[in-house]
């Protein structure tokens, strides 16, 4: 069983949480893949450089200057920092953007209806699962960031949840694969104001109801959409949980049926 | 024969030169490794962020803020940009810092006599040649930047010429290897003011004379030292040339004897 584990930018940006996560992740047995964001840090660097981060529907508009910044932050600092911390825990990791070994090939999102600039979309052929398996078979742990490429020389800023889901689906075609989304909450909350209101499991019918009631919004909506894509396309299990619970079963389980 | 080719920051920073170099590099036949700098861009980003680049004897003093910047620039933008351009030329490249697959493990330079901060030194055991050969045997071209790690969770800013030389020596223990230093001059110049005064070959005795005459200075001194280290430790040939001449024989040949 391969574990694909995604951590959000709030974990990556918090050194105490990240250090603990790295120790816990290194202790996960068996082959594994880490997918990480870094959006909080990217926005901070943009502001330090006098630029204003621009978001539409929770997604970053990526002009040329922004592309350079997110590539530096995700592929540079975050990827290399996490990888060096994992190496110190004797986890032989390797940081990858999509261009590296052509591991994830995206396409530039059409400028209509919203022009997100250098934003990448993925499809079922985007992931080079064979190369990931070469690395895993060498005992190497891929650490994938949110930068992909289009094979025409362009880098593309790509949603990290989508990358995690697409990677898990591609690996699941080859060998059984689990997917875990880790963030700074204990799971999907029924009441966003109440951290103890974790929903134990969500079926497709539950998801429709939660959307209708306005209980999932912002980043949680694409995260759940990606989670259902994964569970419906061959991934063995999908769970959303707190980063500190990576080796515990506590969290929200995504079910493909009721 | 493996070709290890190093390009300097002035090429990486010049989009026209870089685009042409990438096409020429992709056309180099056989297994190859690219090592690149990015110092010009790092200094510019430092200034944009209100920091002052600090150099001693031509080497960057790397405090924590500077380490983050050079990791972002070398491992982030430069590495991923070059790799995506190579992918567009059907060269299946992969960008690596030393932490990636533990490919180059350095040690923090002692703070005496000069404290360079997070600067990395290498030795003959630093390079994981086996992992480079795994990639080369998969038809993948490593693109190595100037960030190494110490296996204790620290990243280290490391001279790219030293990396190129150490990588070439390590590979040469396994299989015949050539080393080429590419930069924005046609070779080592006898008269730094005269671009046509390229020295065809340099022996150890010539090198001593050039140093005594003050004809090699700044970056050329460590470059030549690294070149002689390589030719004296098993690398088949070492040449210093213009980036545009990568597939031509014109340049300065380093000789291990007179």
Residue B155 has its nearest CB partner, among A80, A140, A152, at A80
Q: Which residue of A has its CA nearest to B101?
A: A94
> What are the pLDDT digits (tens) for B24-42?
999 999 999 999 989 999 9
Domain limits, chain B: 2-254
Per the CB < 8 Å rule, is B87 touching A151?
A: yes
pLDDT confidence of residue B258: 67
CA distance B168 to chain A (A): 21
Chain A interface disruption, residue of B76, B78, B95, most A CBs within 10 A: B76
- What SS3 string covers chain A? CEEEEEECHHHHCCHHHHHHHHHHHHHCCCCEEEEECCHHHHHHHHHHCCCCCCEECCEECECHHHHHHHHHHHHHHHHHHHHHHHHHCCCCEEEECCCHHHCEECEECCCCCCCCECEEECCCCCECHHHHHHHHHCCCEEEECCEEECCCCCEEECCHHHHHHHHHHHHHCCCCEEEEEEECCCCCECCCCCCCCECCEECHHHHHHHHHCCCCCCCHHHHHHHHHHHHHCCCCEEEEEEHHHCCCCCCEEECCCC
pLDDT confidence of residue B59: 85
Alpha carbons B45 and A110: distance in angstroms, whole number: 31
Task: Enter the tokens of residue A136.
Answer: 């895993």
- Give chain B positions within 8 Å (CB) of A140: 101
> What are the pLDDT digits (tens) for A140-152?
999 999 999 999 9
Alpha carbons B143 and B136: distance in angstroms, whole number: 11
Residue B87 has its nearest CB partner, among A74, A99, A135, at A99
> What are the pLDDT digits (tens) for A85-119?
999 999 999 999 999 999 999 999 999 999 999 99
Chain A interface disruption, residue of B87, B132, B152, B156, most A CBs within 10 A: B87
Residue A155 contacts B where some CB pair is shorter than 8 Å: yes
Q: Residue range B215-237: average pLDDT?
A: 92
pLDDT confidence of residue A219: 79
CA distance A208 to chain B (A): 40
What DSSP state is assigned to residue B151? Answer: S
Q: What is the mean pLDDT of chain A?
A: 95
- Give chain B positions within 8 Å (CB) of A153: 84-85, 87-88
Residue B77 contacts A where some CB pair is shorter than 8 Å: yes
Does the structure show a pLDDT above 90 at A59?
Answer: no
> What are the pLDDT digits (tens) for A171-195?
999 999 999 999 989 999 999 899 9
Quote the crossing angle between the two packed helices B204-212 and B220-232, to the nearest 10°.
160
Per the CB < 8 Å rule, is B94 touching A100?
A: yes
Per the CB < 8 Å rule, is A138 touching B134?
A: yes
Residue B80 contacts A where some CB pair is shorter than 8 Å: yes
Short-list A104, A81, A77, A76, CA closest to A93: A81
Q: Residue range B105-111: average pLDDT?
A: 97
> What are the pLDDT digits (tens) for A116-128?
999 999 999 999 9
Residue B219 contacts A where some CB pair is shorter than 8 Å: no
- Percent of chain A whose predicted confidence (pLDDT) is above 70: 100
Does the structure show a pLDDT above 90 at B257?
Answer: no
Is residue B217 very low, low, confident or very high in pLDDT (cuts 50, 70, 90)? confident
Tell me if the domain spanning A2-254 has CATH number 3.40.50.300.
no
- Give chain B positions within 8 Å (CB) of A135: 101
Alpha carbons A3 and A141: distance in angstroms, whole number: 10
Q: Residue range A238-246: average pLDDT?
A: 95
A2 phi-psi bin (left φ>0, alpha ψ -120 to 50, beta other): beta
Residue A151 contacts B where some CB pair is shorter than 8 Å: yes
pLDDT confidence of residue A3: 98
pLDDT confidence of residue B189: 95
Residue-by-residue DSSP string for B1-48: -EEEEEE-HHHHT-HHHHHHHHHHHHHS-SSEEEEE--HHHHHHHHHH
Does the structure show a pLDDT above 80 at A218?
Answer: no
Q: Which residue of B has its CA nearest to A67?
A: B77
Does the structure show a pLDDT above 70 at A258?
Answer: no
> What are the pLDDT digits (tens) for B166-207?
999 999 999 999 999 999 899 999 998 999 999 999 999 999
Q: Residue range A221-235: average pLDDT?
A: 95
CA distance B116 to chain A (A): 20
pLDDT confidence of residue B58: 76
What DSSP state is assigned to residue B65? Answer: H
> What are the pLDDT digits (tens) for B46-95?
999 999 999 988 789 999 999 999 999 999 999 999 999 999 999 999 99
H/E stretch holding B164 = helix B160-172
Residue A84 has its nearest CB partner, among B68, B85, B154, at B154
Torsion of CA A231, A233, A234, A240, to 10 degrees: -20
Is residue B108 very low, low, confident or very high in pLDDT (cuts 50, 70, 90)? very high
């Amino acid at each position: 069983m391969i574990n694909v584990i995604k951590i959000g930018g709030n974990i990556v940006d918090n050194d105490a949480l990240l250090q603990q996560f790295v120790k816990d992740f290194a202790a996960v047995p068996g082959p594994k893949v880490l997918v990480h964001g870094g959006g909080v840090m990217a926005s901070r660097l943009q502001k330090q450089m006098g630029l204003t981060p621009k978001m539409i529907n929770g997604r970053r508009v990526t002009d040329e200057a922004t592309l350079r910044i997110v590539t530096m932050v995700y592929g540079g600092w975050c990827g290399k920092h996490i990888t060096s911390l994992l190496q110190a825990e004797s986890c032989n990791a390797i940081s990858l953007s999509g261009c590296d070994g052509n591991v994830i090939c995206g396409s530039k999102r059409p400028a209509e209806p919203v022009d997100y600039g250098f934003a990448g979309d993925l499809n079922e052929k985007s992931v080079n699962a064979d190369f990931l398996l070469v690395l895993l078979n060498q005992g190497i742990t891929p650490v994938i960031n949110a930068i992909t490429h289009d094979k025409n020389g362009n880098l593309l800023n790509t949603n990290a949840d989508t990358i995690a889901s697409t990677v898990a689906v591609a690996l699941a075609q080859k060998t059984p694969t689990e997917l875990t989304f880790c963030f700074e909450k204990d799971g999907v909350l029924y009441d966003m104001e109440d951290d103890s209101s974790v929903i134990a499991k969500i079926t497709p019918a539950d998801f429709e109801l939660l959307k209708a009631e306005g209980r999932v919004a912002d980043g949680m909506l694409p995260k759940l959409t990606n989670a259902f894509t994964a569970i419906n396309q061959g991934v063995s299990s999908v769970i959303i949980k707190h980063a500190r619970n990576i080796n515990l079963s506590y969290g929200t389980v995504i079910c493909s049926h009721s």
